[in-house]
Amino acid sequence: MTAALTGTPAPRAARKPRLTRWVLRLHRPALYAWAGLLVALTALLLGLRGPLADAAAEGWRQYNACPGTARCSYDQDAILRYKDYYDYATVALNALPMLVAGWAGAALIGRELESGTALLAWTQGTPPARWLAVRLAVPAIAVAAGAALLSWLHHLAWNAGRGRIDTAKDWYDRFTFYAGGPTAVVLALAGLAAGVLAGLVLRRTLPALLAGMVATAALRGMTEIALPHLWPAVTRVSTTDQGPLGAGLGVDEGVVTRSGARLPVPACHTEAQCRAAYADISGRWSTYHPYSHHWPLQLTTSALVLAVTALLALGSFLVLRRSTGAPRSVEKATA
Amino acid sequence: MSSDAALRADALGKRFGRRGGWALRDCSFRLPAGRVCAVVGPNGAGKSTLLALAAGLTAPTEGSVTVLGTTPAAARPRVGFVAQDKPLYPQLTIAETLRMGADLNPEHWDAAVAEQVVTGGGLDPKARIRSLSGGQRTRVALALAVGKRPELLLLDEPMADLDPLARHELMGTLMAQAAQYGTTIVMSSHVVAELEDSCDHLLLVGGGRIRLSGEIDELLAAHLRVTGAADAGGLDAATVVESRVTGRQLTALVRPAGPLPGDWRTSAPSLEELILAHLRNPGAPALHEESAA
């Protein structure tokens, strides 16, 4: 190592390498697009929370006050407008992780490897690992900050309609769940990490774009499958003549026999069959998550996705080290 | 390990994919510091692979490469590299590209040299990279590599798309660099004439192996072009690289081990003859004129 030290020319000025400004400069169009999307969605969500929710709630109040079968006058447009705009905002927040993954795979990493500018960057005075670290950290901050703001506003907008608008989505509606909490933020970060890894592995723009999006969609799908099991569920038992049990995110349900055994709902097709099947049944049971489980489920899902994100980021550094770094044989040779 | 070798390969090999062919195999050579080295060979010979290994852009499959006395990764801040297709960020201007060079090489950036290379071509610093021609991009890529003030400069086909005037001028800039700062320059080409005047060291790569390596003067001195009667004999003591019979006359390129019999007319081969003879005859034994290593 002495050879390396004596061979280095004396530093002219003790300056630090500046990589962040170049990531921002190279991806200025994406930064502007993200800022524009943030402004538009913020305006939409604030509108949903305030005037749009109020108008729709007033419409429902008029409708519910209608007497029986007589002709009724109520503000149907306000109700539909709230529903439509709520859907737009929710779809946008659900698509965000895939959007980030596609951008990261294609524009952030894949294009640099395909055009060779990554080689240019890796042969400057800063190590490739730093190149990658900046390309993960700077977008992560921008994405996390923006997604946090949007998901908080989405939760407020949803809350504004809750109990006032009859067609408002339940908390366990899957699109609502993944738009209005920390899961929206961590899924966007997972999209970033998945896109970066896809770009580094595939080294080409279009395949990385597709692979990043597919991987992120698959991760989202897996969290949906796992969701009911990420917090201890509540089980309620009722008699057959009672009404439906507590509403929430269902896990499982069935019937209770007179001896107290819990069975799945029996299958029957004719009246005689059903009478026979239900002869011994005294009640129902259901296992589900009530609304009080909303935040615990948000947090456990977020922790799970965050762990996957960390693994994806670690994988990116390993792939980068394999393609640029020194393998063990070289280290040994010069040791 | 001697610290005066700028670049050293020991049984270096690189294979792409687990079942792919070897791009480079069993390469051993040593390039002393301060030399201007030509890496010559036909297309697909492994020149770019060799330079990418030295720049730490890919890992060897077997063997090792030592750059400035350390690993390619550790040497990276002291090595300049220009890839064959001269990648640059198309959305930046020339001035921005050079500013980026300054920001990414904070400890040893020479803005004056970089600007000199760019302005030498009459380029407008405000021009965007995407608006430049191939030769103009080469100039900016070289400016970025030279501005880093490297100890070792690796250039993959640097002059390929430059006009003769620009080639002459840029070669002059590079040589001035090498002379002033003792920079070791390694440049690949398949055009021998392009390098003959400026290089003093040669690496001939063919079929993924090093065919010739050493000082150009010593390599030339080790070979003779001989002509004589086809049945004269007496060449057994020399290594015959290539021989051709025209009628009753035999012309050959040989490496004599001792004095040849008097009935052979001998002359010194040109560098191009030497290289072509070795490329045409892959079976000829390799020569490494670097016993000092």
Asked whether the predicted pLDDT for residue A333 surpasses 50, the reply is no
- Flag whether A12 is in a domain: no
Q: Collect all residues with Cβ–Cβ distance below 8 Å to A205 and sequence separation of at least 6.
A: A105, A106, A107, A110, A111, A114
Burial of B290 (0-12, 13-18, 19+ CB in 10 A): middle
User: Could you tell me which chain B residue has the CA closest to the CA of A324?
Assistant: B57
A221 and A262: one domain?
no
Asked whether the predicted pLDDT for residue B104 surpasses 80, the reply is yes
Give A19's contacts in chain B (Cβ within 8 Å): 103-104
In this structure, the number of other CB atoms found within 10 A of the CB of residue B262 comes to 8
CA distance B194 to B156: 13
- Flag whether A8 is in a domain: no
C-alpha torsion sign, points A130, A131, A136, A137: positive
CA distance A17 to B110: 15
- Flag whether A2 is in a domain: no
Per-residue pLDDT, A151: 96
pLDDT tens-digit series, residues A276-291: 888 888 888 888 898 8
A267 and A143: one domain?
no
- Flag whether A55 is in a domain: yes
Bridge partners, A287 (sequence order): A235, A252
If one compares A70 and B161, the residue with the highest pLDDT of the two is B161
- Flag whether A1 is in a domain: no
Question: Which tokens is B107 given?
Answer: 């400890």
CA distance B101 to B11: 34
Q: Collect all residues with Cβ–Cβ distance below 8 Å to A107 and sequence separation of at least 6.
A: A27, A30, A205
A253 and A296: one domain?
no
Domains in chain B (CATH in brackets) are: 5-217 (3.40.50.300), 218-289 (no CATH)
Q: What percent of chain A has pLDDT over 90?
A: 55
> What residue ranges in chain A does DSSP mark as E strands?
234-239, 249-257, 262-263, 281-289
Task: Compute CA distances A329 → A245, B46, B53, B64, whole Å.
Answer: 66, 21, 14, 7
Touching B: A residues 270-289, CB under 8 Å: none
CB A227 within 8 A of CB A249: yes
Per-residue pLDDT, B257: 81
Asked whether the predicted pLDDT for residue B125 surpasses 80, the reply is yes
Per-residue pLDDT, A284: 84
A286 and A296: one domain?
no
Of B6, B1, B2, residue with least CA distance to B200? B6
Per-residue pLDDT, A267: 82
Which residue in this structure is represented by tokens 């021998």? B192
CA distance A7 to B193: 33
Q: Give the mean pLDDT of B121-145.
A: 91
| Confidence category of residue A39, pLDDT binned at 50, 70, 90 | very high
Per-residue pLDDT, A331: 41
Question: Which tokens is B170 given?
Answer: 């840029």
- Flag whether A6 is in a domain: no
Question: Which tokens is A82 given?
Answer: 């709230």
- Considering A290, A307, A324, which residue would you say is the last residue of a domain? A290
Please give the single-letter amino acid code of residue A50. Answer: G
A284 and A162: one domain?
no
Asked whether the predicted pLDDT for residue B196 surpasses 90, the reply is no
- Flag whether A43 is in a domain: yes
Q: What percent of chain B has pLDDT over 90?
A: 38
Report how many domains make up chain A.
2
CB B283 within 8 A of CB B241: no
CB B289 within 8 A of CB B215: yes
Residue B266's φ and ψ, nearest 5 degrees, are -120, 150
| Confidence category of residue A335, pLDDT binned at 50, 70, 90 | very low
To test the contact with chain A by mutation, choose from B65, B71, B92 the residue with the greatest count of A C-beta atoms within 10 A, namely: B71
Q: Give the mean pLDDT of B102-128.
A: 89
Between chain A and chain B, the number of residue pairs with CB atoms below 8 A apart is: 135
CA atoms within 13 A on the CB side of B291: 2
A273 and A172: one domain?
no
Per-residue pLDDT, B20: 79
User: DSSP class of residue B77?
Assistant: G
A39 and A121: one domain?
yes
- Put simply, the answer to whether B81 touches A123 (Cβ < 8 Å) is yes
A28-37, A125-134, B148-157, B276-285, range with the lowest pLDDT: B276-285
Per-residue pLDDT, B2: 46
In this structure, the number of other CB atoms found within 10 A of the CB of residue A156 comes to 16
| Confidence category of residue B19, pLDDT binned at 50, 70, 90 | confident
* Pairing mode of beta strands B79-82, B152-155: parallel
C-alpha torsion sign, points B114, B120, B124, B128: negative
- Put simply, the answer to whether A125 touches B56 (Cβ < 8 Å) is no
Asked whether the predicted pLDDT for residue A239 surpasses 80, the reply is no
A172 and A247: one domain?
no
Per-residue pLDDT, B248: 86
Q: Give the mean pLDDT of B69-83.
A: 91
Q: How many angstroms separate the CA of residue B3 from the nearest CA in chain A?
A: 6
pLDDT tens-digit series, residues B168-182: 888 888 888 888 888
A192 and A286: one domain?
no
- Flag whether A10 is in a domain: no
DSSP H or E segment with residue B50: helix B47-54
User: Could you tell me which chain B residue has the CA closest to the CA of A119?
Assistant: B57
Give A12's contacts in chain B (Cβ within 8 Å): 107-109
Q: How many angstroms separate the CA of residue B132 from the nearest CA in chain A?
A: 16
Tell me the residue length of chain B: 293
CB B37 within 8 A of CB B210: no
| Confidence category of residue A14, pLDDT binned at 50, 70, 90 | low
A47 and A123: one domain?
yes
A31 and A96: one domain?
yes
| Confidence category of residue A329, pLDDT binned at 50, 70, 90 | very low
Name the region of A121 (left: φ>0; alpha: ψ -120 to 50; beta: rest): alpha
A86-90, A318-322, A325-329, B239-243, range with the lowest pLDDT: A325-329
C-alpha torsion sign, points A105, A108, A114, A116: negative
- Put simply, the answer to whether A325 touches B59 (Cβ < 8 Å) is yes
Q: Which domain holds residue A55?
A: 20-227+292-334
pLDDT tens-digit series, residues A181-201: 999 999 999 999 999 999 999
Question: Which tokens is A245 given?
Answer: 């049990």
Q: Give the mean pLDDT of B245-265.
A: 84
DSSP H or E segment with residue A201: helix A182-202
Per-residue pLDDT, A17: 82
A295-299, A304-308, B206-210, range with the lowest pLDDT: B206-210
Per-residue pLDDT, A5: 41
Q: Give the mean pLDDT of A131-144.
A: 96
Q: Collect all residues with Cβ–Cβ distance below 8 Å to A40 and sequence separation of at least 6.
A: none
- Put simply, the answer to whether B106 touches A15 (Cβ < 8 Å) is yes
- Put simply, the answer to whether A331 touches B88 (Cβ < 8 Å) is no
DSSP percent split of chain B into helix, strand, coil, nearest 5: 30, 30, 40
- In this prediction the ipTM stands at 0.87
A173 and A277: one domain?
no
Q: Give the mean pLDDT of A238-259.
A: 79
CA distance A272 to B72: 82
If one compares B8 and A16, the residue with the highest pLDDT of the two is B8
- Put simply, the answer to whether A334 touches B66 (Cβ < 8 Å) is yes
